[in-house]
Chain A
Amino acid sequence: MTTEMTSVEAILAARASAAADGTAEEEARTKLVLVSLDAEWFALPGVHVREILAAIPVHYLPGCPASMDGVINVRGAIETAIDLRGLLGAAPAPGGERIRFLLCEAGGMRSAVRVDEVLDVLDVAQSRISEPPHTLAEERKAVVSGILSMDDRVVTVLDLDRMFARYRAGLG
C-alpha cells in the first residue's frame, strides 16, 4: 500500500513538473535566419525570408545604385538583388565564395538580399531578444529591432520592414 501511495505521489509530482515545462514551451518563439556580413552577425526575421538562394546569376542593369547588384530571375519573376550593406547604409563590397541571396518580402516589397554567408536558421524564444542598446549608431537604430546574445557573440536582429522602406526612400 505504501509503495502505491509513493507511486501516486511520484506521478503527481511528475505531472506538476511536466505542466511547468509545458508552460515554458508555450513561450512565444520566433524564427531567425542568422547571417554574417564581414565580421558581424545579423539575424533576419524568418517570417520575411521566403527563400535562401545559392549561386544565381545576377544581371547587370545600368543606372542601379552601387548597393544594388542588379536583378535576378527567380523562376520567371524578376527581383532586385541588394547588398545587405546597402540596406544598412554601409559601403558596398563584392563578397566571397560563400555569398548567398535571401529572397525577402517586407512592407509590400520583395527583393533578394545578398549576405556573405548564411550561418544558421534559429528558433529562439522572444524573451532572448533584448532591446537595442542606446549606444547603437544612429543609422543602425533605424533598422535594428533587437539584440540576441549567442555564446560569446552578439547578433543584431534587423527590421526588414524599415530597411526596405528606408531603401526605397533613398536612405542607404
Chain B
Amino acid sequence: MVTIGAGRFGLEMSRVATLHPVLDGTAVLPSFEGLVGVAVSDASPRRCLVLKAGGERLAIGVDGEVSIARLPTRSIHPVPPLLAARTALRGLKALAVDPQGVIAIIDPMADPQPSDSVIPAGQ
C-alpha cells in the first residue's frame, strides 16, 4: 500500500517485483503520482518500486509511505459505475474499506505508459 497525503493506494503483491531505496545517480524515474493520475509533488522519490506484468517491468519513484497490508476479501468492493466513469485515477480496479477509510486498488500497468518507463524483460 502506498500512502500519499490523504490518499491510499493498494497494489496487488503479485504485481510488485522489488522495492528499494533510490540510489544516487539513478536516472529520473516516472512518479507514482503521475502514473496513477494524481497531482505530482515536488519531492524527490525516496524509493524505487518495480512493478511487473507479463514479461514487462515498470520502475517508478515513490515518495510516500509504502507498507504491506492484508485485506480480508469481504473488504474489497467493485468500483461504482459513476466513479469508474469520472475518476481521474488510472488503473482503478476496486475499492477496499478499512477502519481508516477507503483504499484505491490500482493496477498501473493496466494503462499503457510511455515506453521509456518500461524495463524490457531480462534487465
Contact = CB atoms under 8 A, between A and B. Distances in A.
Chain B interface size, as a band, is 20 to 34
Contacts of B37: 63
A65 B83 CA distance: 9
Contacts of A170: 85-86
B88 interface: yes
B104 to A, nearest CB: 6
Contact of A63 (B77, B81, B85, B89): B89
A114 to B, nearest CB: 13
B82 A167 contact: yes
Chain A interface size, as a band, is 20 to 34
Contact of B80 (A60, A63, A65, A78): A78
B81 A109 contact: yes
B120 interface: no
A109 B7 contact: no
A61 interface: yes
A145 interface: no
The 5 closest A-B pairs by CB, nearest first: A63-B89, A62-B7, A63-B88, A59-B102, A78-B77
